[in-house]
């Protein structure tokens, strides 16, 4: 499959590509620029308000919606960004940010390339973890569950709403594959721009949505002395039960 994710040996582990322009060379730090990172003295006591099971909405979707609204108030940008973790068939984990475009009783929906590294992992092992890392609020939310493609019509409807530049990028970028240089990507963008000149850009077959259907949803709130509150909704039949986890 042209442009498909070439496998773990080709990404991250191969030889460092030769920089193609003087800009690339300048952007690379020399070893002497590096300083050890020491964050051990940056301790902080967490004073967040207590989280009690009795105060939680019995419906975790509503509860997470309320927390997401709080996060949207304070997030400097991209409040929809969450970390998606997957593992391939050999159990090798990877994680990356994605934008959650809807969150409701059906699950959390994000859009990506069906040829990407995450897509290959999901073919092997169709389960994921979504981590909402809302640290400025001393909160995190973790959703675990199976991940499946959304119906094609849903991907096409969302794709149609995207700006043309993003639509062209979905055609031009073989996500997670190795590029010779930036110019190769830009040449592909020019090519698809010309191909779709004067017409609407259709949704590529290799692009669409996934939905993580949560089987558990854990809410974490920071408390003093590292005695944090962790309350986890677990799916039981058609409903949910809430358990408290040790911090
Ligand atoms: C804030 C932010 C939001 C992102 N949103 C998406 C997204 O919605 N879909 C996507 O495919 N990649 C998104 N990315 C890029 C991914 O993190 C990642 O680089 C890409 O999906 C390739 O991942 P993979 O090689 O593990 O498949 C985002 C990155 C950041 C930093």
pLDDT tens for residues 194-203? 999 999 999 9
Tokens of 197: 């000149």
Please tell me if the CB atom of residue 116 comes closer than 6 angstroms to any atom of ligand 1.
Answer: yes
Across 62-66, average pLDDT: 97
- Other C-beta atoms closer than 10 Å to the C-beta of 78 total 9
**Residue 174 token pair:** 């073989």
Report pLDDT for 45.
78
* pLDDT surpassing 90 at residue 47: no
| Residue 44 or 111, more confident | 111
Element (H, E) at 202: none
Phi, psi of 190 (to 5 degrees): -60, -40
**Ligand 1 atom with the shortest distance to the CA of 112:** 11
Fold of 45-162+204-244: Pnp Oxidase; Chain A (2.30.110)
Name the residue ranges covered by the structural domains of the chain: 45-162+204-244
CA–centroid distance, residue 99 to ligand 1 (Å): 8
Mean of pLDDT values over 44-67: 90
Distances (CA, A) of 170 to 72, 79, 115: 27, 22, 11
Mean pLDDT, the chain, integer: 89
Stretch 46-66: mean pLDDT: 90
The pTM assigned to this predicted structure is 0.86
3-state helix, strand, coil in the chain (%, to 5): 30, 30, 40
């Amino acid at each position: 499959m042209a442009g498909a994710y070439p496998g773990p040996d080709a990404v991250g582990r191969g030889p460092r590509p030769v920089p193609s322009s003087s800009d690339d060379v300048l952007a690379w730090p020399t070893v002497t620029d590096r300083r050890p990172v020491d964050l051990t003295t940056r301790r902080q006591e967490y004073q967040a308000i207590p989280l009690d099971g009795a105060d939680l909405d019995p419906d975790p979707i509503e509860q997470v919606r309320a927390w997401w609204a709080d996060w949207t108030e304070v997030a400097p940008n991209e409040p929809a960004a969450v970390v998606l973790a997957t593992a391939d068939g050999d159990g090798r984990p990877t994680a990356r940010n994605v934008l959650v475009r809807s969150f409701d009783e059906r699950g959390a929906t994000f859009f990506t390339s069906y040829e990407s590294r995450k897509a290959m992992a999901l073919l092997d092992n169709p389960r994921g973890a979504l981590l909402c890392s809302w640290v400025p609020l001393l909160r995190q939310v973790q959703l675990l569950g199976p991940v499946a493609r959304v119906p094609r019509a849903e991907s096409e409807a969302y794709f149609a709403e995207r700006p043309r530049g993003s639509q062209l990028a979905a055609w031009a970028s073989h996500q997670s594959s190795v590029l010779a240089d930036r110019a190769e990507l830009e040449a592909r963008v020019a090519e698809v721009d010309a191909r779709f000149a004067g017409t609407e850009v259709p949704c590529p077959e290799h692009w669409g949505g996934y939905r993580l259907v949560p089987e558990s949803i854990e809410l974490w709130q920071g408390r003093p002395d590292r005695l944090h509150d962790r309350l986890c909704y677990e799916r039981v039949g058609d409903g949910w039960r809430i358990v408290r986890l040790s911090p």
